[in-house]
Amino acid sequence: MQPQLLPAVQRAFSTLPIELFLNVLDQLVGTHDGCPPVAYAPSDSITKALRALTLVSRGIYPIASQYLYANCLYLDSCTSYSQFRRTLGLHLGTYHPQSLRYGQAGLNEQLFAEADILRHITSLFLSPQKTAACGGATPMVRLPQIIDLCEVVGPTLTRLAIDLQPIYASTSEIERVKPHSSEKSVFMAMHNLEDLVCSFDVTDYFPQPPPNLKRLAITSQGTGTSDVLIKFCLGIQSLEVLFFLRDPEMEAADVDTLFEHYEGEHLDVVLVDVNANHCTPKGARDWKPEDRVTVWEVDVPKSYYGDEGDLILCDSWFWMQGVRGTLFTQEKRRMTSWSQVQAKMAALQEL
């Protein structure tokens, strides 16, 4: 999204064409392959450079902030998540460690309003882990705090990586909040969302998928027999790409589920696992030219020298590539049909 050129910004660069400055910022946040990450981490030099630019002058603050919030919303801890909520004016609680104390300097609301930040928030990584650095007094993020933040930033998002495993959601709170209702479903209002990377438990809270999603990656091991998960993954007519972890007990019926429940024009289903685990389910259907679903396989690198278990390894790789923005462009190969497997086995027996 092209940043809004305010008069103050123009004055700040009166001796330098503003287009030149914008080009420099575009080059700063761009990548060589055209696949920018969902969000640059706080430790990344790009984030640090943009943060420093916001402190240069009141004239430069709006445009630097627009680039910062558009490219660097990397909320990987309870602390960063709470600080972002505070910036947006969402309630933290009087005694929250990140709440501003009486008399403590806060946000320059006038400058923040001039920057029109919310309109530029198009990409977000959300995984609010409670780490040692957060301190013992920092509470875990709760489900209602996910809902109200997504209500604020959700409508403008085009890319989202959201991990709900770190949040705290008690049974009583779920019953009170009722996240399953369409009014509380965070995805229903995300009409601009095209890319979604999410944890396997997302459908436990929000079973309705984004309406116009094109690419989905979910860390579940297949769709299984869950009607909710099947509907979430395959009931989006606009969906073009679906990534998930390969189910170690995948059967021919699971392949049939992909073909029978997909409601769009064409879908590339990509199974993620280490190379040694990939195999065609016995009795799986033959591929036909008119198929609306194509099944692919992606290999997760494995060193075999002290790596974690396969599931942990694949899950970590899944998130790493997803947040980097490189998951949907991974090299893949088409799954071999069962009849092709049988033909190869017969040829080997004849040798």
Q: Which helix (H) or strand (E) holds 242?
A: strand 241-245
Task: Encode pLDDT of 169-205 as tens digits.
Answer: 888 888 888 887 777 689 999 999 999 999 999 999 9
Residue 188, CB-side half-sphere exposure with 13 Å CA sphere = 12
**Residue 72 reports pLDDT greater than 90:** yes
- Phi, psi of 329, deg, nearest 5: -110, 15
Q: State the Cα–Cα distance between residues 191 and 214, nearest whole angstrom.
A: 11
Sole residue written with tokens 């579940």: 220
- Asked whether 38 and 323 are in contact (CB, 8 A), the reply is yes
Looking at the chain, the whole-number percentage of residues with pLDDT higher than 90 is 59
**Which of 69-73, 127-131, 172-176, 207-211 comes out lowest in average pLDDT?**
172-176
Average pLDDT over residues 318-347: 93
Residue 16's pLDDT is: 67
Distance CA 192, CA 214 (A): 10
Query: What value does the mean pLDDT take over residues 88-108?
Result: 71
Asked if residue 260 lies in contact with residue 289, where contact means CB atoms within 8 angstroms, the answer is no
Q: Which pLDDT does position 86 carry in this prediction?
A: 86
Q: Are strands 293-299 and 333-334 parallel, antiparallel or unpaired?
A: antiparallel
- Joined tokens for residue 30: 């761009």
Is residue 179 within 8 Å of 143, Cβ to Cβ? yes
Q: Residue 2's pLDDT band (boundaries 50, 70, 90)?
A: low
Q: What is the pLDDT of residue 351?
A: 66
- Residue 40: its pLDDT value, please? 95
Q: How confident is the model at residue 260 (pLDDT cuts 50, 70, 90)?
A: very high
Comparing 45-49, 131-135, 316-320, which segment has the lowest mean pLDDT?
131-135
Q: Give the mean pLDDT of 309-318.
A: 94
- For 109-161, write each residue's pLDDT tens digit: 788 888 889 999 999 999 999 888 888 788 888 999 999 999 999 999 999 99
Give the closest residue to 228 by CA, choosing from 253, 206, 246: 206
Find where tokens 């705090």 sit: 145
**Nearest 5°: CA angle at 256, between 251 and 258?**
105
DSSP SS3 for 7: helix
pLDDT number for residue 346: 84
| 126 vs 57: which has the higher pLDDT | 126
Please name the amino acid found at residue 145: Q
- DSSP letters, 23-41, are HHHHHHH--TTS---SS--
pLDDT band at 103 (very low <50, low <70, confident <90, very high): low
Could you tell me where the beta strands, DSSP code E, fall in 277-348? 293-299, 333-334
More reliable by pLDDT, 346 or 288: 288
Cα 167 to Cα 121, 267, 339: the distances in Å are 22, 31, 45
Q: Kindly state the average pLDDT of the residues 271-281.
A: 94
The whole-model pTM stands at 0.89
Averaged pLDDT score across all residues of the chain: 88
Residue 125 is predicted with a pLDDT of: 98
